[in-house]
Amino acid sequence: MTALTFYEKQLPELEILVKQARKKVQSLSLLRLLVFLLLASSLVFFWGNSLLIGVSMLLGIPAFLAAVAFSVDAKTDLEKKESKIRLILAEIRQISTNKGQFDPGSDFTDSKHAFAYDLDLFTPNGFFAFVNRTTSSLGKKRLAEHILFPQKAPDLDFEQKVETLSAQVNWMLEFRAAADITSRESAYHKSLSDFARLEFKNPSWVKFAAWLIPAASIAALALNYTGYISNSIFGLVLVFTLLPISALLKETNRWASQVGQYEARIRVLLDQLILLRQLPLDLVPKTELEQLEKELKSWVGISRRFDIRLNIVVSIPLNMFAAWDLRQRLALSAWSEKNKRQLENWENELADIEVLISAAVLRFNNREHTIFAARQQHSAAYSCKGIVHPMISPEKRVKNDFELRETESFVILTGPNMAGKSTYLRAVGINLVLAGAGFPVFAATFEIPETRLFSSMRTSDDLAQESSYFHAELTRLKYIQQQLDPGYQTFVLLDEILKGTNSKDKEEGSKKFLRKMKLQGAKGIIATHDLSLCDLEKEDPAFVTNYFDSTIQGNELYFDYSLKKGVCQNMNASFLLKKMDLID
């Protein structure tokens, strides 16, 4: 079954489940309203009878709180199912169009990075949007770092986890849907490391007052019922119980607001941790997951109890008879003291899992087109067969090979305009990026050494820095040369270098630059229209030539986009100029 077929088969069943979930939400919302009205009515109806009011509160408040909890859970369940449908539709669009449908990571755009700008990693609907399945800003950042700064040593354990996880497609959809629901939009940008820096300190008397207030209120209720104190004295006692709570009300409201700001993030983490426990793959030790789940459930309980106090009909009796605000303050302070040092670690672990999921979804969606790269441990040779650019639709892809023997350094790539040189460079480059990140590559075979990738394919002048196009390009080439390290195999993609100077200078300068790069141990590909560079092959076997070609048939120009050995002899600039009536 193809990925597209899998996703399309999920939709009908999910749509039925969404309809059922909507009915459940409506029923529970009605029940919550009914319980609230009954509670409020009983307080009015039994006013003056302390016993019946007490019984009403004793039964009515827990019933209302339970109805609220059930209603919230049902709404969350509905939103998760709706989110899952949105995610599936996005996957279908991506497979159908081969354009990225997710966050493109445009905030990571950096024209000075070793390769990101030239390979269009962070453009709208581009490569990052194609692979990104993260559910938090930290996860997105971790994915970008994973792609932009690959480790020297291969992480075979990462690749094995990706392969295993790619079979758990429904689980990955559930994991992502837990963060994608509308009521949790703020969770994406929240970081628990910020929450850990908040202080929740209570005055020393709060713990004592949290026990004294309920004791005094319940005692007054009993004395009033037995006739030992009047209703007025009973009411006065209840008013006095609210004084210490009122003294801290402003700060308590601020704490409640801060908790509310992070509630969505905590709920996402809790749901994702629960899902992790259900996963057969041991991404996080089960004992650690159980402890994390316990602590996050405790936090959610505190958050919900803070929410309850927003309803004044419920809040006043809860504070009178249970010192509700003070107890929530104590609970939050204790939880923060116990767990705040661990919050960042928990979040980092889940961010790493988001990176794994991004790689696993890429593998699932493109299983018939991808493999994992094989690393050459004791060889500097490259042997890659059937390479394609992942952003080109499968029906339009033309597979090409890339090979460099141990003794070879550079492929000199020639060909006419629009024949496929730049696309080929980017296909090789993006697959090297995927391999460096431990992601599946789009190729039939992909055997490479441990490689650091650099490129100079798209250079622009900088008016702010008074930098000409030519100077900007020289600066880029100098940067690449300075990054060469004998401890790493460096691979360089060059597209028509030294474009800002005259032909003779360009020819001589390009040859000298390539010779020096070869002596410094670099390997790579240079695409050029300058056929004189191909003379390097005659001088030195470290340079090899490949080309793309075009065919003119009558008044039409045809490309096969297939790489060939040798030097291109056909150019098409004059033909294109004439076809567009730019020349006679």
What integer pLDDT is reported at residue 151 of this predicted model? Answer: 64
pTM here is: 0.85
What is the pLDDT at residue 87?
Answer: 94
What CATH architecture is 370-579? 3-Layer(aba) Sandwich (3.40)
Which of 270, 275, 315 shows the shortest CA–CA distance to 293? Answer: 270
Strand partners, 544: 411
The structural domains of the chain, with segments of one domain joined by +, span 1-97, 194-348, 370-579
Cβ neighbours, 10 Å, residue 346:
18
Chunk the chain into consecutive blocks of 10 residues (it has 584) and report each block's average pLDDT, rounded to whole numbers.
92 92 89 82 73 72 79 86 93 91 92 90 92 93 91 72 94 92 79 86 93 90 83 85 91 91 87 87 79 89 86 81 93 91 84 95 96 87 95 91 94 86 94 94 94 82 50 84 83 83 74 90 90 88 90 69 84 48 48
Contacting residues for 582 by C-beta, under 8 A, at least 6 apart: none
Strands 374-376 and 451-456, bridge-based pairing: unpaired
Q: Are 186 and 261 in contact (CB under 8 A)?
A: yes
Instruction: Give the distance, in angstroms, between the CA of residue 480 and the centroid of all CA atoms in the same chain.
Output: 30
State the Cα–Cα distance between residues 155 and 22, nearest whole angstrom.
45
Residues in the chain: 584
pLDDT at residue 501 in the model: 61
For residue 463, what pLDDT is reported?
A: 37
Where does residue 242 rank: exposed (0-12), middle (13-18), buried (19+ CB within 10 A)? middle
Residue in 305, 361, 287 with CA at minimum distance from that of residue 131: 361
77 by Cβ neighbours in 10 Å (0-12 / 13-18 / 19+) ranks as middle
Token reading at 248: 């801290």
Q: How far apart are CA 503 and CA 483, in angstroms?
A: 28
